[in-house]
Amino acid sequence: MKYAYFPGCVTPLRENSYELSARRVLEKLGVELVELEGANCCGFFLDAVDHLSSIVLAARNLCLAEDIGCHIITLCPTCSGHFTRVKAELSENPKLMNDVNRVLSSVNRRFIGSSEVKHIARVLVEDVGVEAIKKTVTKPLTRLRVAPHYGCHIMKPSTEIRFDSPENPRLLDSLIEATGVKCVNYMEKRMCCGAPVMGVDLKLSIEVVREKLRSIKKEKADAIVTICPFCHTQFDLNQSRIEEEYGETYEIPVLHYTQLLGLAQGYEPDDLGLYENRVMVDDLLSLI
Amino acid sequence: MPLAAETRRRVIRLEEINDAFSREVIKAGGEKLYVCFQCGTCTASCPIFKFDESYNPRLIIRSAVLGLMDRILNNDMLWLCAACYSCTERCPRGVRPAEVIRAIRNIAAEKGYIHEFFKTQADTIINYGRIWEEEEFVNEMREDMGLPPVPSVNREEVKKILEYTKVKKILASGEGED
Ligand code: SF4
Ligand code: SF4
Q: Look at residues A55, A85, A120 and tell me which one is the last residue of a structural domain.
A: A120
Q: Among A64, A87, A120, which residue terminates a domain?
A: A120
Which of B99, B102, B162 is the best residue to mutate to test the A interface, defined by the most A CB atoms within 10 Å of its own CB?
B162
What pLDDT does residue A68 have?
Answer: 97
Please list every residue in chain A whose beta carbon sits closer than 8 Å to the beta carbon of residue B125: 40-41, 45-46, 57
Q: Residue A20 sits in a domain of what CATH number? A: 1.20.1050.140
CATH class of B3-110: mainly alpha
Q: Assess whether A137 and A277 both reside in one domain.
A: yes
- Residues A147, A277, single domain; the answer is yes
> Are residue A146 and residue A171 in the same domain, yes or no?
yes
Domain with CATH 1.10.1060.10 in chain B: 3-110
pTM higher than 0.90, yes or no? yes
Return residues 4-63 of A near B (CB < 8 Å).
7, 9-10, 12-14, 16-17, 19-20, 23, 35-41, 45-53, 56-57, 60
Residue A53 covered by a domain: yes
| Amino acid at site B69 | M
CB A38 within 8 A of CB B152: yes
Same domain for A48 and A103: yes
From A53, A85, A120, the end of a domain falls on A120
Percent of chain A past pLDDT 70, that is, above it, reads 100
Which residue's CA is minimally distant from atom 5 of ligand 2? B46
Contact status, residue B79 vs residue A48, Cβ threshold 8 Å: yes
pLDDT digits (tens, 9 = 90+) for B134-161: 888 999 999 999 999 999 999 999 999 9
Under 8 Å between Cβ of A61 and A44: no
Q: Are residues A54 and A10 part of one domain?
A: yes
**Domain boundaries, position A272:** 130-285
Are A111 and A172 within one domain?
A: no
- Is residue A251 in a domain? yes
Is residue A173 situated within a structural domain? yes
For residue B38, give the ligand 1 atom closest to its CA.
5
Confidence of residue A89 (pLDDT cuts 50, 70, 90): very high
Give me ligand 2 centre to Cα B94, in Å. Answer: 14
Answer whether residue A138 shows pLDDT above 90: yes
List, for residues B23-70, the tens digit of each pLDDT value.
999 999 999 999 999 999 999 999 999 999 999 999 999 999 999 999
Average pLDDT over residues A60-68: 98
Does the pLDDT at position B4 exceed 90? no
Sheet holding A182-183, edge to edge: A182-183, A145-149, A223-226, A254-256
Same domain, A172 and A251: yes
| Contact assessment for residue B46 and residue B57, using Cβ atoms and an 8 Å cutoff | yes
pLDDT per residue as tens digits for the range B67-126: 999 999 999 999 999 999 999 999 999 999 999 999 999 999 999 999 999 999 999 999
Using a 6 Å cutoff on CB, does residue B40 contact ligand 1?
A: yes
Which residues 6+ apart lie within 8 Å of B144 measured at CB? none
DSSP labels for B120-176?
A: HHHHHHHHHSSSS---HHHHHHHHHHTPPPPPPB-HHHHHHHHHTSSHHHHHHHHTT
Task: Verify that A77 and A104 share a domain, yes or no.
Answer: yes
For residue A211, pLDDT beyond 90: yes
Tell me, what CATH number does A162's domain have? 3.40.50.11810
Give the pLDDT score at B177: 47
Number of H helices, E strands in chain B: 12, 0
pLDDT tens-digit map of B94-105: 999 999 999 999
| B82: chain A residues, CB-CB within 8 Å | 152, 192, 194-197, 208
State the average pLDDT for chain A: 98
Q: Does B178 have pLDDT greater than 60?
A: no
Interface test with B, best of A5, A14, A17, A53 (most B CBs within 10 A): A53
Element (H, E) at A5: strand A2-6
Whether residues A110 and A152 fall in one domain: no
Q: Is A34 within 8 Å of A79 (Cβ atoms)?
A: no
Give A168's contacts in chain B (Cβ within 8 Å): none
- Binned at pLDDT 50, 70 and 90, residue A210 comes out as very high
Burial B105-116 (b: 16+ CB within 10 A, else e): bbbbbbbebbbe
**Residue B134: its pLDDT value, please?**
86
Q: Atom 2 (ligand 1): residue with closest C-alpha?
A: B91
Closest ligand relative to B38 C-alpha: 1
Pocket test for ligand 1, best of B32, B34, B42 (most atoms within 8 A of CB): B42
**For ligand 1, atom 8: residue with the closest CA:** B36
**Do A90 and A67 share a domain, yes or no?**
yes
Whether A136 and A276 share a structural domain: yes
In this structure, is residue A125 part of a structural domain? no
Question: Structurally, how many domains does chain A consist of?
Answer: 2
Tell me the pLDDT band of B2, cut-offs 50, 70 and 90.
low
Asked if the structure places residue A101 within a domain, the reply is yes
Residues A20, B88: C-beta atoms closer than 8 Å: no
Look at residue A50 and tell me if it is in a domain: yes
Q: Which chain B residues touch A96 with a CB distance below 8 Å?
A: none
Task: Determine the Cα–Cα distance for residues A218 and B110; give it in Å rounded to an integer.
Answer: 46
Tens-place pLDDT, residues A166-198:
999 999 999 999 999 999 999 999 999 999 999
